Amino acid sequence: MPASDWQADGLCKEYPDVDFFPERVKDAQPAREVCDRCLVQKECKAFALADAATRGVWGGFSFPEERDAARETQ
Ligand code: SF4
C-alpha cells in the first residue's frame, strides 16, 4: 500500500492539538493513545521503521528512542 493511502486514514489528523513530536519520550503518551486507536497503526509503524531518520511518534512508538524495541517485534 503506498504511503499516501494509509496516511489519509491516519487518526492523528483529527487531533491537531496532540504533539506527535515531543521533545521528551515521557511526553509521548497522548500521541501513543491516539495511535493505539488508529486503523493504520501497523502500516504507519512499518513506514517509520524503514526510515532511519524518523523522529516523533509513529504507530505508537517514539522514534528514535524505541526503534530497536520496535524492530524486535517485526
Ligand atoms: S499510527 Fe499514529 S502517527 Fe500513525 S497514522 Fe495513526 S495516529 Fe498517525
How is the chain split into domains, by residue range?
Answer: 41-74
End-to-end Cα spacing for the chain: 17
Q: Which residue's CA is the nearest one to ligand 1's atom 8?
A: 12
The pTM of the whole model exceeds 0.75: yes
Question: Rounded mean pLDDT of the chain?
Answer: 88
pLDDT surpassing 50 at residue 68: yes
62 lines ligand 1 (CB under 6 A): no
pLDDT surpassing 90 at residue 69: no
Q: Which residue's CA is the nearest one to ligand 1's atom 3?
A: 58
pLDDT of 4 reads 67
Q: How far apart are CA 32 and CA 1, in angstroms?
A: 23
pLDDT in tens, 8-22: 999 999 999 999 999
The partner residues of 19 in beta bridges, in order of sequence, read: none
Q: How far apart are CA 60 and CA 69, in angstroms?
A: 12
Q: Which atom of ligand 1 is nearest to the CA of 7?
A: 5
34 lines ligand 1 (CB under 6 A): yes
pLDDT in tens, 37-56: 999 999 999 999 899 899 99
